[in-house]
Every structure is written in C-alpha cells, then in structure tokens.
Amino acid sequence: MRKPFVAGNWKMNKTIAEARELVEKMSAEIKDVATVEKVFCPPFTALATVRDALKNAECGVGAQNMHWEEKGAFTGEVAPNMVKELCEYVILGHSERRAYFGETDATVNKKLHAAQKHALVPIVCVGETLDEYESDRTQEIVSSQTRLGLAGVSADYAAKIVVAYEPVWAIGTGKASTGAAANAVIKDFIRSTIADLYGAETAQAVRVLYGGSVTASNAKEFFTQPDIDGALVGGASLKLDEFVSIIKAF
Ligand code: PEP
C-alpha cells in the first residue's frame, strides 16, 4: 500500500526568518497527521532552518535541485553530498528548471543516478507544455521524459522514487487538470512506462503525484483517484491554512 505523499515546493520564496515563521505554524497544525508523508522543499538557504523547525512534526525536507557532480569548478551549484547533509529528498527536473536553466532528460538522468548513489529520494517531475498538450503529444512527452529520466537506474531504487506529473500548462496558472485526466496520464503513460522498464510490481510501488494549481478546494478530486498518490504543491504550499487543508484532505 502506497502512503499518501504531499510535498510543498516553495520555489524562490522565503528568507530564513520567513521560512522559520511559516513552518513553526504549520508544524503545530500537521504534527498529528501521521497517515500522510509530508515534505517541505524550501530554497537551499532555508533547508537547515526548516528541518530544525519541523523536527517534532515527522516531516521530510527536500532540496529543489542539485548538481550531479561530486565537487569541483561548478560555481553556484550544490553537490549531492551537500544536499544529503541537510535533507533526504530532492526535486529533479522541475519544468521551471527545464524551461529557464536548460535542464534536459539527460541531465535529469545524471542527477537521478547521483541521487541513487547518495540515497536521496528524488521527486522527478515530468509533464507536457501547453503547445504539446494542444497538439496531442502528452503521451509522447510524458512517456519519453519518464523513460529517459529513469534510464539505467536499478529496479530497487526505481521502486523508491517519487514521480510528479506536472502538466506545465497547469503550474501556477490556476487552471488545474481534472482528477480523471491526471489519473489517466499517470496510469497509462507513467506507470505503464515504468512497468515496461521494471515490471508491474515496481510500477505499482512507485509513488506518483499530481502537481499543477492544487488548492484546498480541488485537492480531494486528485487524492481520490486510484493512481494518484498525492500532490506536489507550489503556490498553495506557501499559505498556512491552504497547505494544512491540502495535507488533511487525505
Ligand atoms: C510546482 O511548482 O511544482 C507547482 C505545482 O506549482 P503550483 O501548485 O503553484 O501550480
């Protein structure tokens, strides 16, 4: 049985002081919700603060990105072992990184191998753009991002990863997909690709989230779908009542 999973992606928001204030309040509200895996992904600068503020709330903490190399002349980058010192999760291949920072399926794959080596749990993002959606290319894009992103990863590790289906047209737009449509993409294109690569058992073990304008009012629509294990939440994860309600929607 897959445990429901809700992760908040704060993107480039919150100073250390602001992060502490928000998670201290959230922690009090969600500390007794033991049935849901809860993960906070603040900017690198706030990881230690958020981790410490959440230590009694049984929450995970994750980075929003990392480099695949161990160390070296990569100004501005953060290595996997540096991430591992601070947290256990890492978001890989978010569409904003693909769109603005040149990430490709090949770099996502290198990062995934680095995450495996350092026993980090990756939240691997896949999803089609509006153009691709409108030209009926969702299957092609989502299947190939899944296949190329996971290439060469061991079956044991594949079973532990988290995949987030995030249609780019739904991120930050207020135009969420529907529960049924997101479930179909996850079942037919993501789990079926993982089944091709690793077999049906692994495909069923992998936690697959939906992300894209999830709010307290639409969360239930996604969480009641059989192939959706939870949500990757952007904007709403920065709002105390909203994020607490999403977590409690399970
Ligand atoms: C995201 O950033 O991954 C995301 C899903 O954003 P939002 O919830 O704001 O659409």
So what's the pLDDT on residue 109? 98
118 flagged as catalytic? no
Tens-digit pLDDT profile for residues 117-156: 999 999 999 999 999 999 999 999 999 999 999 999 999 9
Tens-digit pLDDT profile for residues 165-213: 999 999 999 999 999 999 999 999 999 999 999 999 999 999 999 999 9
Task: Output the six-digit token pair for 209.
Answer: 């989230």
Residue nearest atom 4 of ligand 1, based on CA coordinates: 234
Is 161 within 8 Å of 122 (Cβ atoms)? yes
On the 0-12 / 13-18 / 19+ scale of CB atoms within 10 A, 129 is middle
Task: Output the six-digit token pair for 58.
Answer: 């049984």
pLDDT range class, residue 250, cuts 50, 70, 90: confident
So what's the pLDDT on residue 1? 72
Domain boundaries, the chain: 5-247
166 CA from centroid of ligand 1 (Å): 8
Q: What dotted CATH number matches 5-247?
A: 3.20.20.70
44 CA from centroid of ligand 1 (Å): 18
94 flagged as catalytic? yes
pTM higher than 0.85, yes or no? yes
71's CB contacts (< 8 A; 6+ apart) are 79
Catalytic residue among 103, 166, 221, 242: 166
Read off the DSSP letter of residue 88. S
pLDDT range class, residue 35, cuts 50, 70, 90: very high
Binding site membership of 213 for ligand 1 (Cβ less than 6 Å): yes
Binding site membership of 214 for ligand 1 (Cβ less than 6 Å): yes
Catalytic residue among 67, 94, 113, 118: 94
